[in-house]
Amino acid sequence: MKPLGHVSGSFGEAFRLSWPITLSLLLNAGYRVNDQYWIRDLGPNAQAALGITSFMLIFNFAFVSLISTGVLARVARYTGAGDDQARRQVVGTGLRAALVWYIVLGAIGHLTTPFWVRLSGGSGETARLATEYLGTIYLVLPLVGFKPLVDSIFLGLGNTVLPMLLGAGAVLLNAVLNPALIYGWWGFPAMGLEGAAWATGISRLAAGVAGLIALGRFYPFRGALRMPFAWTELRRVLRIGAPVAFSTAAYALCFIGVLKTSIEPLGSNVQAGLGVAFNGIESLSYCGLMGPAMAAASLVGRGLGANNPQAARAGGLACLWMSAGFALMTSLVFLFAGESLAAFYADDLEVRRQAALYLSIVAWTQVVTATDSTLQQMMAGAGRTMVMSICNTSGYLIRIPLALWLSGSLGFGAAGVWWALNLSNFLKLGAIFWLFRRLNLFAPKAEAPRQNLTALS
């Protein structure tokens, strides 16, 4: 066994999968960037509204990923095993279940939007704008949800280029619709932040429908929706996706807790600075480290499906090195160019200063986040997500009292909140690394005993 040579040989496949995923994620982040850029003329309250709703959008994605994460793992496993019929059944079942789930989720979210805005620390004009934006996002959620589900199917198949191309078209459409619907260009009604939400829904729907057409045209998925609904397969999908969804929801809810208890008392400039730094800047860098991490899920899932754990391990490790390397470069940019980056989104000097402060502190844990994310995606690709979710949730929960202690009791203000995030990231990585080693995902399976042909003859 030559682990280093084997990893080196896996870099080509890891890179082939990673760069389109990274670009796809960047394109998805382009929605946030588009929104953050085009609302700058609406003022700091609008920027603060986007800042506090960012984590509700992540909370929404947790429930969207309930099905898409499991579908990715099952499609990857059946692709590695060469079982086209089982793969087609997973896709047909997942699409029908997702449609019902997204409608229910959107209806509940729309009715409860004011509660979530208050919980996130919104008040006054900021709360009004946030309610306007988030309530519309829930209305269009059934339109938005199919794009990440279709992307997950393609990723399970090992095709990362087509989702990237579809994402590019969607973001271009979003960039055109945003100013038209926010400010009323070209005869459209001026809807403010509500217009940004409608632009997101329309553009993502277009990409999702195009992806479904491509699946039916280029892959053996014709008739998938006419196959019997497989309850057993849905249970498997949910068993994989539920812990990941719970973990993502815990991340969002715990950050909402931080927003309410530690950030709201610091004022709208800190809220706006967080919105600029998180939505407009860190969301882009996160795509760079998550591209290789998500490629690891596909490589591990297909490798284990083909009963080749050595290839699965090598592919995952190659993705880990790529993700950590990108994160290191990101750290340097955050440290030395944070305020210049913030100036692209905000004219207010105090908002820019708060955004730069956030970036200069979270720069110290970008490599930690990359390592943590890749290890988790490797476990998700293997379908081992339950205990991972518990580790994540524990790491997120500690942020609320830690941020309150550092920012309030010790008087470090906003810097204390951001250092609380860093400390929790280190603790969580330790737990995830321990779990990854304990699960031993890549241990060779014991071979079934062979029959004694000589005795039979």
Predicted pLDDT of residue 255:
86
5: number of Cβ within 10 Å:
10
Question: Apex CA 427: angle with CA 424 and CA 431, to 5°?
Answer: 135
Predicted pLDDT of residue 457:
27
Whether 454 is in a domain gets the answer no
> What distance in Å separates the CA atoms of residue 298 and residue 302, rounded to the nearest whole number?
6
Predicted pLDDT of residue 445:
60
Q: 3-state secondary structure string, 147-204?
A: HHHHHHHHHHHCCCHHHHHHHHHHHHHHHHHHHHHHHCHHHCCCCCHHHHHHHHHHHH
Domain, as residue range, for 145: 3-440
Predicted pLDDT of residue 363:
96
Question: Apex CA 391: angle with CA 394 and CA 149, to 5°?
Answer: 110
Whether 451 is in a domain gets the answer no
Predicted pLDDT of residue 455:
36
In the chain, which residues have pLDDT < 50? 1-9, 447-457
228-234: Cβ within 8 A, 24+ apart: 228/89, 229/92, 229/93, 229/96, 230/89, 230/90, 230/92, 230/93, 233/74, 233/86, 233/89, 233/90, 233/93, 234/93, 234/94, 234/97
Of 342, 371, 236, 238, the closest CA to residue 281 belongs to 342
The Cα-based distances of 344 to 128, 189, 364, 397 in angstroms read 25, 27, 23, 33
Regarding pTM above 0.85, the answer is no
Whether 380 is in a domain gets the answer yes
Predicted pLDDT of residue 6:
43
Give me the count of residues in the chain.
457
Whether 337 is in a domain gets the answer yes
Residue 82, Ramachandran bin (φ over 0: left; ψ between -120 and 50: alpha; else beta)? left
Whether 447 is in a domain gets the answer no
Whether 456 is in a domain gets the answer no
Predicted pLDDT of residue 242:
86
Predicted pLDDT of residue 215:
83
Which of helix, strand or coil describes residue 82?
coil
Whether 25 is in a domain gets the answer yes
Whether 115 is in a domain gets the answer yes
Predicted pLDDT of residue 69:
84
Number of folded domains in the chain?
A: 1
State the residue for tokens 């603790």.
427
